[in-house]
A and B are shown apart, each in its own frame.
Chain A
């Protein structure tokens, strides 16, 4: 265990944890967009910037990646931090002017409008979906393609992916609702910013409801080595 100070408050923390994790444990708010506890931190949105003082030096670091250390002093807000966060929100607002989650967060951080020309994106490229798909689901159906300003979220060749199982985890994890899915009748539709896919849903043998993509169930069945009829019934109709 190490002891550190966050905003003047002394807190205990497990070694190896990041400042952001420790702050959350202690109900100290640090804004973030690209962080999720289930996946490897990525450090792309830069909103979680904090000031740390250690070895007598003060510097800005991103809290989702910076590990706690004994005696570390952390400031989660300051004029400098606020100015950076506000500029980042202005940039994101210009990129995604019509995204409600981003508008909301911008307002919360004191930004009402942006100084830049407006584009029209929903996705801000935080790669949470990419990481979830790869690390949690284990299939890696989507990734960030191209470089720099042309960067985009897409499946290879922008074509329907062979490996996607239609689980929709990407949509669940997206912090700004840039990915959506809906089940209509016997089909699930997943809408990514640059392409979409359809999946056949499985029908429950008992109640007749369509309850999950066949591909996803097949994937789980194989992973868990379950018998062929394991998913004949939906969870509600299963013993």
Chain B
């Protein structure tokens, strides 16, 4: 790795000189193999691919011709492991270690490996360049775009792109008030869910009475099906640090914390490396760049509790206590961590800050809608063709995200609903798909922007099951302090379980609604008060599904195990035996060639394994 000698930088000039030195040492035309080392691609075997590249480069003594960069997630997890050849941006997808020598030799010769290119499912055409892939086309990757230009463990990569120059500008050319004004003017709203105006929060914290001020980065990312924050922290931790530094300067804070969930080991590691490297260069610590401004950052790992993403619970946990929220009649900007003024922002919020200051509020405010500016990263998952992380301009419609970026629903299934906002959000039906993505509009339909989870559901998803899923999740995550949340979620979960297992009764829907009202009104924190959203929105838009479960004891989507039966369609079954092998409990018997198999209902555990493997439609689910 290119190692520049670590010397504390003591002026903006030294920072700029270092940047020039790094850039000079790099040939912009040299081919660079960029490979995603994010959690998603690693799970798909990216480590073997990385090792194979290293070996291949070593073997052919190609060090001078080919650079290799392991980066964070560029977003297209569905097609991982992903390899991009820079500077041309040739995208290879689903790369295996067997493919490496071919890629290397083609790249050296300036050729392209056709078979590893992405094929547009609509046109059947091969697409060579990353930016031409439909998945990326409608995105606006202000934040994620740099992920593939940076090895997050090498600070020089970030510096080469002008990293920390914005900090330097802030420290030497801007007053704290000016910084706050700029963030306010840009219209940046918190990306952690609530959408609170960031500049206003900073200002209140700056003005609050107190001896010490803290800034915290919330990387708890508790939404169970979202990983935007993880990717930023893993892929570009310095952008988050630079944002925190700028915020700390504006607020007048000298101590920061990054609260990151322990389930993200790579994010913990990369954040730690970034802090260390920034410290060595004097970009953190005392007298940063010779400006007289001091700021340091500590990492605190979460202990696996969704509620600790909530501001007061997070702070309790940082103090080494049980992560219980407290009433926020006095705001945390006034009395937060250790009773001192504390400013908490989400990872993505922090990452937006350097961009705003670098390019100006006017530039930033051009993207988005009246009330929601900039871009938003969503993790697009569920029944969707292009699973992954997408960064889109605010104001884009849900339909565009799902069909243009996401490539629609797999297997020609029918779209049913999209869930946004995680456990605090709601399900949005087909009829609202033309809604623009905007904090206020999503709230109007009973959901919310949330931190960016977007789960697509098709005709085979049961909406009562989804509501039960979120309520069960929240029941397990409630801290248990206040009665409505602890006892109320338990009862909601019981009722929903009864409904999905065929014990639903007349009046259950009304009881759920009554419980919802109490949770919303009287819970101690937003975990409880927003918990009813998944239930209320599914009742609102999919009441007929609830009724089918309750009255007819039927699950229209065929999901609720207790309400479905599997049968063999004897007409269609050629006795191929695939289902026999798939069945984990030996409930299906092979009756010989060309004879339909026999399913023993007594033994059947309704796992659906047979249904999944049968491509002939010979297994019927009723």
Contacts and interface: CB of A to CB of B under 8 A. Distances in A.
A91 B329 contact: no
B327 A44 contact: no
A147 B480 contact: yes
A167 interface: no
B615 interface: no
Contact of B477 (A42, A46, A148): A148
Interface stretch (A82-90, A155-163, A209-217): A82-90
Nearest to A43: B327
Nearest to A85: B522
Interface string A79-105: 010011001100110110000000000
Contacts of B489: 148-149
B480 A94 contact: no
Given A44-B481, A125-B480, A83 B517 contact: yes
B486 A87 contact: no
A94 B495 CA distance: 14
Interface residues of A, number: 33
Contacts of A62: 327, 524
A44 B483 contact: yes
A57 interface: no
What are the 7 tightest A-B residue pairs by CB atom distance, in nearest-first order? A151-B480, A91-B487, A87-B518, A148-B478, A148-B480, A46-B522, A65-B327
Contact of B511 (A45, A46, A95, A115): A115
Interface centre among B329, B476, B515, B517 (most CB of A within 10 A): B329
Interface in A117-153: 117, 124-125, 144, 146-151
B491 A116 contact: yes
B256 interface: no
B522 A147 contact: no
Contacts of A80: 521
Interface residues of B, number: 31
A67 B488 CA distance: 27
Interface in B435-486: 475-484, 486
A189 interface: no
Contacts of B490: 149
Interface string B297-335: 000000001000000000000000010001101000000
B518 to A, nearest CB: 4
B329 A46 contact: no
Interface in B517-561: 517-518, 521-524
B494 interface: yes
Interface string A191-229: 000000000000000000000000000000000000000
A60 interface: yes
B494 A148 contact: no
B287 to A, nearest CB: 41
A147 B487 contact: no
20 contacts: A43-B524, A45-B482, A60-B522, A62-B327, A62-B524, A65-B327, A65-B329, A80-B521, A83-B518, A84-B484, A84-B517, A87-B515, A91-B487, A95-B487, A116-B494, A125-B480, A148-B477, A148-B486, A149-B486, A149-B490
B475 A149 contact: yes
Interface centre among B486, B488, B524 (most CB of A within 10 A): B486
A147 B479 contact: yes
Given A147-B479, A148-B477, A150-B480, 15 more contacts: A43-B327, A44-B482, A45-B483, A46-B523, A49-B521, A60-B521, A61-B327, A66-B329, A67-B329, A92-B487, A116-B494, A124-B483, A147-B477, A148-B479, A149-B489
B514 interface: yes
Interface centre among B322, B488, B491, B511 (most CB of A within 10 A): B491
B484 A87 contact: yes
Interface centre among A45, A67, A87, A124 (most CB of B within 10 A): A87
Nearest to A65: B327
Contact of A43 (B477, B479, B482, B515): B482
A220 to B, nearest CB: 28
B478 A91 contact: no
A28 to B, nearest CB: 20
Contacts of A67: 329
A95 to B, nearest CB: 6
A148 B488 contact: no
Nearest to B477: A148
A115 B487 CA distance: 13
A88 B484 contact: yes
Interface string A25-40: 0000000000000000
B491 A146 contact: no
A120 B116 CA distance: 62
Contacts of A94: 487, 491
Contacts of A42: 481
A44 B326 CA distance: 9
Given A87-B514, A115-B511, A116-B494, A46 B327 contact: no
B491 A84 contact: no
Nearest to B498: A117
Contacts of B305: 147
A88 B486 CA distance: 11
B524 A44 contact: yes
A91 B522 contact: no
A91 B480 contact: no
Contacts of B491: 91, 94, 116
Contacts of A60: 521-522
B135 to A, nearest CB: 39
